[in-house]
Structure formats: C-alpha cells, structure tokens
C-alpha cells in the first residue's frame, strides 16, 4: 500500500538567540501534544514559500518580512509521509498570537532538545552544526 505524500512548510522564528516552538493541540491527528516547529500543509498550486507565508499568518497572525529556505526533510509516519520544507524567519511584523497551537514558547537555541518532534529537532540540530543558528 502506497502512503500519501503530504508536502508541508515549517518556519523557525529566530529572535535574540531564541526560537519559537509550539505545543500541538491534543486533537491533532499527527503528534498530538508534542512540541515542534510551527507549520502546515502546502496547498495545490501553492509554492513552498507562499505556503510558509500563509501558514505564518494563519497560525501566528504575523506577516513575514525576511526569510531564508534552510532545508527539506522527509518524515515517514504511519498515516502518511510528510515532505517538510523549512524556512528561517528573522523578521516579521505583527504581534505573535496563538491561533492554532495549544501553546507557544520561546526557547533558547541551545535548549533545542525540548523539541520532541524528532524531525524538527533534527533540522534545528543540523542548522546549529552548520552555524546557521
């Protein structure tokens, strides 16, 4: 049986050597209650960049000003496979609000192990090793 491949865009907000993480709602089908990087699915005929900008607005009520694509990871899950494109956001406008997660927190970059969605943690670890974070 072939699993569905779901393209996603995730974004790492960086401010004062801290990154924004979310605690996923318990009602989420994938990784409920876990701590990870905000993001969501890429719609048909939508670029990964446009998806990231839309998701930042839908999830946090912010407008992205400065961003960089930093990599892609494939996450194989029992329900579907997720192809996640990651972006680093260094500048935005608007006051961050919790619109979809159960909780948002700023964590120091060196405390990235608090992220318990393994592919998000892997991306942060790779960015630290590459001295991007």
Distance CA 93, CA 73 (A): 28
The count of domains in the chain is: 1
8 A C-beta contact, residue 25 and residue 46:
no
For 54-70, the pLDDT digits (tens) are 999 999 999 999 999 99
* Sign, CA torsion 23/29/112/49: negative
For 73-122, the pLDDT digits (tens) are 998 888 789 999 999 999 999 999 999 999 999 999 999 999 999 999 99
For 25-37, the pLDDT digits (tens) are 999 888 899 999 9
The predicted model scores a pTM of: 0.93
pLDDT number for residue 3:
82
Residue 90 sits in a domain of what CATH number? 3.90.79.10
User: Which residue segment(s) compose the domain that 99 sits in?
Assistant: 5-129
């Amino acid at each position: 049986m072939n699993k569905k491949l779901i393209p996603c865009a995730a974004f790492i907000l960086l401010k004062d050597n801290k990154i924004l993480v979310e605690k996923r709602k318990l009602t989420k089908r994938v990784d409920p209650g876990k701590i990870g990087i905000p993001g969501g699915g890429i719609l048909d005929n939508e670029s990964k960049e446009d998806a990231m900008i839309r998701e930042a607005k839908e999830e946090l009520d912010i407008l992205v000003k400065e961003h960089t694509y930093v990599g892609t990871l494939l996450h194989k899950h029992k329900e579907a496979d997720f192809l996640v494109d990651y972006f680093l956001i260094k500048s935005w406008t608007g006051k961050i609000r919790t619109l979809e997660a159960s909780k948002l927190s700023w964590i120091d970059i060196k405390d990235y192990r608090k992220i318990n969605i393994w592919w998000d943690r892997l991306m942060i670890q790779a960015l630290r090793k590459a001295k991007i974070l």
